[in-house]
Amino acid sequence: MSPKKMKGMLKSMGIDIDELEGVKEVIIRMPDKEIIIENPSVAIMEAQGNKTFQISGDVREQSSGPAIPDTDIELVAAQTGVEPEQARAALVEAKGDLAEAILKLAK
């Protein structure tokens, strides 16, 4: 069945489908990770006032720990005399709390 005919059938049942153009990336954020869909194809189906999204594309996952600014890493490293990698690890463990990270490394 052609996509045009399928769309017509769905429309007659009160279901509307549209393709979103120009979408570059879709990010699904979860407590412990993010699912990133690059080069996505996104369709929106609307039926009875509810919207459903259908997404396909190139999928990758990454941990969603706190984003640690470089300035915070430099500050913790300078205050404690540790390497930047150790300062970053302490900040991640402290969920970005500068004082807590410095105290952990000062022990």
Specify the pLDDT at position 10. 86
* CATH code that applies to domain 70-106: 1.10.8
| Residues of the chain predicted below pLDDT 70 | 64-66
Cα–Cα distance measured from residue 10 to residue 14, given in angstroms and rounded to the nearest whole number: 7
What's the CATH class of domain 3-62? Answer: mainly beta
Rg of the Cα trace of the chain?
23
The sign of the CA dihedral 93, 97, 98, 104 is negative
Domain ranges of the chain: 3-62, 70-106
Q: Per-residue pLDDT tens for 56-85?
A: 999 999 876 667 899 999 999 999 999 999
